[in-house]
Amino acid sequence: MTKTRQDLAWQELELGATLITPGNSDEYKTGDWRSMRPVVDNKKCIKCGTCYIFCPDAAIYETEEGFFEANLFYCKGCGICANECPTHAIEMVEEEE
């Protein structure tokens, strides 16, 4: 694996700090913006997928059992999923330091 952008010295940047590899926003960990994270209570979950549809970052994925979980690498903790869940199965929990 080559260096991440965090490790590059100024001489190693492309001309004008241009990005030459398409799709590298995948590598950007937006999860560290988060102050609260969604926790799903699968006992209340009816597998409707409303959270999956409403997540503005497409950070929620369906598990093999048909439940829904947030990918915490990308989840910014906005709480829209918890707000939209029809059975109140999602609780926003403070991130610990």
Contacts to another protein by CB under 8 A = 5-6, 8-11, 13-20, 22
Residue closer to another protein (CB basis): 29 or 88:
29
Q: Pick the closer one to another protein by CB: 13 or 39.
A: 13
- 17 by DSSP, 3-state: which? helix
Q: Report residue 78 as tokens.
A: 């906005």
Which among 86, 87, 89 has a CA at the least distance from the CA of 70?
89
Task: Provide the minimum distance between the beta carbon of 21 and another protein in the complex, in angstroms, as a whole number.
Answer: 9
Strand partners, 39: 91
Q: Which two tokens stand for residue 55?
A: 């997540």
- From the CB of 6, what's the least distance to another protein, in Å? 5
Closer by beta carbon to another protein, 1 or else 17: 17
Give the C-alpha separation, 38 to 36, whole Å: 7
CB of 15 to another protein, least distance (A): 5
